[in-house]
Amino acid sequence: MNVPSSDEDEPDCPLCAEPLDATDLQARLCTACSFQPCLFCYQRLLDEAGADEAAAKCPNCRTEYDEDRIEQQRLDPQL
């Protein structure tokens, strides 16, 4: 789903189009569809939902985010 940036072969955030950094790439936020926003955009989704007293949902599949199910992936330090 993420589109590589033209300058590098690193994926970009599908919401803000900024390159995903190593921390962003480690967090698997939506376990249903693997949609990968940057952590800044993810926090913005949580904040906006909280302001409306609603559950934050994945913009791709509309599954509610469950902070207990967020997975951390280990990245190869050689990459």
DSSP string, 26-71: HEE--TTT-----HHHHHHHHHHHHHTT---B-TTT-PBP-GGG-E
Identify the H or E element spanning 24. Answer: helix 22-26
| One-letter amino acid of 4 | P
Q: How far apart are CA 31 and CA 19, in angstroms?
A: 21
Give percent of the chain with pLDDT exceeding 70. 77
Mean pLDDT for the chain overall? 83
pLDDT tens-digit series, residues 4-29: 545 557 899 999 999 999 999 998 88
CB atoms within 10 A of CB 55: 12
